[in-house]
A = this chain, B = another copy of it.
Amino acid sequence: MNGADVLCDVLLANDVNICFANPGTSEMHFVAALDRRPEMRCVLGLFEGVVTGAADGYARMTNRPALTLLHTGPGLANGLANLHNARRARVPMINVVGDHASYHLPLDAPLTADIECLAAPMSNWVRRIEGPDDVARATQAAIHASLSPPGIATLILPADAAWGEARPPASAVIDRPAPPATKGEAIRSAAEAIRKARGRAALLVRGTAALADSLKIAGQISAALNVRLFSEVQVAHMQRGVGRVAPTRIPYPIDAALEVLADIDVLVLVGAPEPVAFFAYPGKPGRLVHKGCQVLTLAAHGEDLKRALEELRDELGIKGSQAVPQAKTVPDEGRPSGALTEDAVAVIVAQKLPDNAIVCDEGITSARRFFSLSEQSAPHDFMMNTGGAIGIGIPLSIGAAIACPDRKVLNLQADGSGMYTVQGLWTQARENLDIITIVFANRTYAVLHGEMRNVGVQTIGENARRMLDLDNPLLDWVSMAKGLGVEAARAHTCEEFTGLLDHALSRHGPFLIEAVI
């Protein structure tokens, strides 16, 4: 067998069996090897940003690494923006980047590029396979790295390592890395600080601490000792909806974020870094807690966060039977009607969300209201753009739908961001994924209009308008979706939108609604 065969076998032996791919010539031996292994599911993206974003969505829903297959430096480069988001979401992922045969590199052929340098900023682990006999060892190391958070592992596969004769490993299955233990000292310090803060303490949860079981424990601590409960601005993954404990998301606008954290004297981090401003603004601070606030880490990402919360609860003397405030059903404020607005879309989606749905939110400014309403929706999983590199919504929904084929996926998609990886709609059609894409067609980079006002520009001129507005020509999402094989329709009114959403929810397969707001 050749190196490519060994690579496939080691991956499959360790349950890595989804490959999001856009291969090229230097990966042909690997493609041929994949062809000999139908148990590996290969999903083609027509652009590498689709590939890496889909792998992120898969990893967020399963906490398992997917494989991506990328073609040399430029193929990796095309996938970097969504790798950046994946790195910020701290998911497991294995990127196999094909490269020239090792002896071909000194010739500086046209596709030659410094792959290590390109990979480093968006990877937690990078390694080049040294030859056919290094394939097994390097692949095992990559799988191990992907499972040792943070887990973006990039493995460079020279063509001659793929095509050369290679020995299979004596044992293909690796020992899974154990999560690092949470320190008792951290539990006791957090408990002591919370007690002393007397109602001016907060927990900030992310990762597995934002899943339903952990949120319940955090909610018990919150209810018993009047501890505030926060999530970060950019939610990687949260379980949410009726019957679940709902943390307050720290607002994106810096003034609002400062206000919400103004009376917090003790902030306890549970799998989260300290919250900071997304961008800097002249004269405003970058840290969001006040200067006297004590910031402690209960447990870091990668540790068993649920157990850490349980230990904190016990240390604080709170019973496991402590009642928690639970989100309630969406109040019947009536069905919105008339001309469609972004808030009306949010209300209708929150009201109609089916049980156990998965929501991807790249609505940027347009979907803001959805999050607050969704604590009262049917129980669901919620994911956002974590790194600010736009163009993740469509790919993320692909990965979620492949991870959870029996669940409905709704992608709330801003139009400007959606254009970055619009090619992903084709993969949704090809794989017949059960995804409803709702495009907020406001025909502008609305967030940037807000930021122009933030820098003091009140009147926008021609040059700025031409860089911020998407209105000439208008993007026709229905035609684009049709061109990519996805059924689609446009709504101008709440009634039209409700009808289309009902239709999309009643069927299986991808559907796109262009919500003109």
Q: Which residues of B are found within 8 Å of A477, using beta-carbon distances?
A: 483
Pick the contact of A451: B25, B38, B40, B78 (CB < 8 A): B25
- Taking a contact as CB atoms under 8 Å apart, the answer to whether B475 and A388 are in contact is no
Q: Are B483 and A35 in contact (CB under 8 A)?
A: no
Smallest CB–CB gap between A92 and chain B, Å? 19
Can you pick out 23 interface pairs between chain A and chain B where the beta carbons lie within 8 Å of each other?
A: A21-B467, A23-B467, A24-B448, A25-B447, A28-B451, A31-B464, A32-B457, A35-B464, A36-B461, A47-B420, A74-B80, A80-B118, A104-B286, A107-B286, A108-B276, A111-B389, A113-B121, A114-B120, A114-B121, A118-B118, A426-B475, A473-B484, A474-B485
Contact mask for chain A residues 85-100; partner B; CB cutoff 8 A; 1 contact, 0 none = 0001000000000001
Shortest CB–CB separation between residue A268 and chain B, in angstroms? 19
Least Cβ distance of A455 to chain B in Å? 5
9 further A-B pairs in the complex, CB-CB below 8 A; given A24-B448, A163-B282, A475-B484: A22-B467, A37-B463, A42-B467, A74-B387, A77-B81, A104-B280, A110-B387, A430-B473, A479-B480
- What B residues does A163 contact at CB under 8 A? 282, 455
- Using Cβ atoms and an 8 Å threshold, which residues of chain B touch A278? 25, 109-111
Q: Is A12 an interface residue (CB 8 A)?
A: no
For chain A residues 65-85, which have a beta carbon within 8 Å of chain B? 69, 72-75, 77-78, 80-81, 84
- Please name the 8 residue pairs, one residue from A and one from B, whose CB atoms are nearest each other, closest first: A473-B485, A480-B483, A74-B389, A479-B483, A104-B280, A77-B80, A101-B280, A35-B464
Say yes or no: A34 contacts B463, CB within 8 Å: yes
A49 at the interface (CB under 8 A from B): yes
Bound CA–CA A22/B448 (angstroms): 11
Mark contacts of A414-428 with chain B using CB atoms, 8 A cut-off: 1 yes-contact digit, 0 otherwise.
Answer: 001001101100100
Task: Judge whether A46 and B470 touch: CB under 8 Å.
Answer: yes
Interchain CB contact (< 8 A) of A113 among B40, B84, B474 = B84
- Which of A26, A37, A389, A463 counts the most B-chain CB atoms under 10 A from its CB? A463
Residues of B within 8 A of A122 (CB): 77, 113
Q: Are B78 and A74 within 8 A (Cβ)?
A: no
Residue of B nearest to A387 (CB): B110
Q: CB-CB < 8 A to A109: which residues of B?
A: 276-279, 286
So how many copies of this chain end up in the complex?
2
> CB-CB < 8 A to A466: which residues of B?
42-44
**What 0/1 pattern do residues 479 to 495 of A give for CB contact below 8 A with B?**
11111110000000000
Chain B contacts of A420 at CB under 8 A? 46-47, 78, 423
Does A234 count as interface, using CB distance less than 8 angstroms?
yes
Q: Does the CB pair B80–A28 fall under 8 Å?
A: no
Residue among B32, B273, B447, B479 making CB contact with A108, cutoff 8 Å? B273
Chain B residue contacts of A185, Cβ below 8 A: none
> A26-58 toward B: CB 8 Å interface, digit per residue (1/0)?
101101101111101011101101000000000
> Which residues of B are found within 8 Å of A416, using beta-carbon distances?
46
Tell me the smallest distance from the CB of A118 to a CB of chain B, in Å. Answer: 5
Residue contact B419 to A46, C-beta cutoff 8 Å: yes
Question: Contact: B32 with A464, CB < 8 Å?
Answer: yes
Q: How far is it, in angstroms, between the C-alpha of A77 and the C-alpha of B39 when the chains are bound?
A: 33
Tell which of B78, B286, B483 touches A103, judged by Cβ atoms closer than 8 Å.
Answer: B286
A327 part of interface (Cβ distance < 8 Å): no
Measured CA separation A416–B48 after assembly (Å) = 12
Give the distance in Å from the alpha carbon of A457 to the alpha carbon of B32 in the complex. 7
Residue pair B110, A160 in contact (C-beta under 8 Å): no
Contact A42 B470 (CB under 8 A): no
